[in-house]
Amino acid sequence: MGATGAEGSFWTGHMAALGTQVVAAVTPGKEGENVGAIPVFHTVRRAVSAAGPVDGAMLFVPPRFTKDAVFECLDAGIRLIVTVADGIPLHDALQIRRAALSTGAKVIGGNTSGIISPGKAMMGMFPYWIERVYKPGRIGVMTRSGSLTNEVTAMVVRAGFGVSTLVGVGGDPVPGLRFAEALALFEQDPETDAVVMIGELGGTMEEEAADILASKAFSKPLAAFIGGRHAPEGRRMGHAGAITSGGVGGARYKMDRLRQAGALVAERASQTGILLAEALHPNTKNH
């Protein structure tokens, strides 16, 4: 949805170029037009009835229209939805999350770049041509930050690894899909040997991931990097969700919880790859 806009059509083209099967676009009032070779429909219901069942929906819709778009997709039976919108109102995000839980849908985002399996497919906006970040491999990545993803994943690739699937859960206070739920998916994924979690201050998602790890429901190595160790209390560090208040949500606390649960916790981005190498190849040095 929103694929006829400048940004939407640019990234829709790249999604197809990487190998994603994009079968229909939706923009009200533009049925009959095309985005590249992709036919445009007025509504999601019309798109699905013409193109047949789809696996997921990619939303390049502005934040104030995102709630409506998500509910339109849910209504049409779509159960995987990625929304990149930065600035979704909090109360809309609460209702989106509530709807995701009650329908069993996976809503990824907002405020994210999306999801990508390098070399295969993507839903979102990733510069997959940057090889020192988006190299295919067997490490799963889940992240709250786009810019930090490049920084940390480059270190994972430098250590000799590549990425199976990267899930951007996004930087908002109420994401549609949480780290703990992404971890459960990586647990089942035969193409993922270990996971890197790129978190930051604010919220409780990293603590929930620690709980999953401690309960042994996630059995693969988990490496974590958490931004905002020195962030001052009560200041919102860029992302809407990146704020510590009343001593809750501090990066240090998250790191301690993860360490106690058995995660490999990197103090700096540069250590992430090294920690993974030690966990996955304990008998070899020099990664």
Partner 1 sequence: MKLHEYQAKAVFSQHGIKTPEGKLAQSKEEALQAALEAGFPCVIKSQILRGGRGKAGLVQVVRNETEARNAIDFMFAPEKKVRNLLVEKAVNFTREIYLSLVPEPKSGTVLALACAEGGVEIEELAKTAPEKIVRESIDPTQGIFSFQARNLAYALGLSGDAAKNFSSVAANLYDVFTKNDAELAEINPLFLLADNSFIAGDGKLAIDDNALYRQKNFQPDAEDFDSDIAKEASQEGIPYLQFDGDISLMCAGAGLTTTVYDLVVDFGGTVANYLEFGGPNYRKSLKAMELCIRNKPKVILIVTFGTIARADVMAEGISEALKTLKPECPIVTCIRGTGEEKAAEILRSIGLEPLYDTEEAVRTAVQLAKGGTR
* Active-site annotation, residues: 239
**Distances in Å between the alpha carbon of 27 and those of 4, 86, 212?**
7, 20, 40
Write the interaction track for partner 1 spanning residues 56-95; mark x where CB under 8 A is met and - where it is not. Answer: -------xx---------------------xxxxxx--xx
Q: How many residues bind partner 1 (CB under 8 A)?
A: 62
> Cα dihedral sign for 239, 243, 249, 251?
positive
**With binding defined as CB under 8 A, does residue 151 bind partner 1?**
yes
Among 125, 182, 224, 280, binds partner 1 (CB under 8 A): 125
Between 39 and 238, whose beta carbon lies closer to partner 1?
238
| Out of 9, 43, 103, 204, the residue judged to bind partner 1 by CB under 8 A | 204
Position 53: which residue type?
P
228 binds partner 1 (CB under 8 A): yes
The piece of 22-30, 38-46, 127-135, 278-286 that touches partner 1 (CB under 8 A) is 127-135
Q: Which residue, among 93, 287, 51, has the nearest Cα to 203 in the 3D structure?
A: 93
By CB under 8 A, tell whether 44 contacts partner 1: no
Q: Which stretch binds partner 1 (CB under 8 A): 42-50, 75-83, 215-223, 228-236?
A: 228-236
Report CA-CA distances (Å) from 73 to 88, 128, 213, 216: 17, 27, 33, 34
145 binds partner 1 (CB under 8 A): yes
The CA distance from 267 to 224, in Å, is 9
Q: Residue 249 region, left (φ>0) first, then alpha (ψ -120 to 50), else beta?
A: left
Query: Please, what sign has the CA dihedral across residues 90, 94, 99, 105?
Result: positive
* List of residues contacting partner 1 (CB under 8 A): 63-64, 86-91, 94-101, 113, 125-127, 129-130, 143-151, 154, 171, 173-175, 178, 198, 200-201, 203-204, 208, 227-231, 235-240, 242, 245-248, 268-270
